Amino acid sequence: MGVVIALAILFVTAFLFSLELKRRRHAEARLQEALASVEQQVSDRTDALSRAMAELKLSEKQFRLITDLSLCTCSGRDPTATPRTSARDFWR
């Protein structure tokens, strides 16, 4: 009788252990999927940021080119100030 009980406990323990292993594998797979999703989001956002920075640099270059090539007689609010010859000189 004791051997039968021991075998029953052993089988139940093995069954519960296999259920726990299955649960852990499933949880690990879900965790890997979540990690892959986060990595993809980071990659997408990094690409978007790189494109935005490139567009910003191009826009800044265009702005500087326009302001460097344009003649401006900006004197600010001071009516006694001498006129500046270019937009770059305005900030000096």
89 pLDDT exceeds 60?
no
Is 81 contained in some domain?
A: yes
How many domains does the chain fold into? 1
Cβ atoms of residues 74 and 90 within 8 Å: yes
Is 7 contained in some domain?
A: no
Is 78 contained in some domain?
A: yes
pLDDT digits (tens, 9 = 90+) for 22-54: 999 999 999 999 999 999 999 999 999 999 999
Residues β-bridged to residue 71:
86
Is 20 contained in some domain?
A: yes
Is 5 contained in some domain?
A: no
Taking the C-alpha atoms of residue 78 and residue 84, their distance in angstroms, rounded to an integer, is 12
Residue 79 confidence class, pLDDT cut points 50, 70, 90: low
Task: Return the pLDDT at 1.
Answer: 87
- The percentage of residues in the chain with a pLDDT greater than 90, rounded to a whole number, is 66
- The answer for residues whose C-beta is within 8 angstroms of residue 70's C-beta and 6 or more apart is 86, 87
Please give the residue range of the domain that contains residue 41.
14-90
Residue 70 confidence class, pLDDT cut points 50, 70, 90: confident
